[in-house]
Amino acid sequence: MTLTKKMIDRLRFPGRMDIDGELETLLLQRFGTEPFPREYSEQDLHEQVRKYVSIYNQEREAVLQGY
């Protein structure tokens, strides 16, 4: 399973994840292809994206606060 724009929209709106355009591009680059020879399960993909979004937003917030 790979990440698609439609999946990102489902995470963004009902899932209430803060995903901006730059982060969407990064997510599609990172999770838009399978990690050959393995495959992502839906649960694994969702968890990995959730962690990635959390770290991205924490770092962005730190930059905006001047740290």
Q: Where are the domains of the chain?
A: 5-64
Name, in order, each residue with C-beta under 8 angstroms of 5's C-beta and a sequence gap of 6 or more: 24, 28
pLDDT, residue 14, reads 78
Please report, to the nearest 10 degrees, the dihedral formed by the alpha carbons of residues 38, 3, 41, 33 taken in order. Answer: -10
Residue 64's alpha-carbon distances to 10, 21, 38, 59, 60, in angstroms, are: 27, 17, 37, 9, 6
pLDDT tens track for 8-54: 999 988 778 899 999 999 999 999 998 888 899 999 999 999 999 99
pTM of the shown model: 0.85
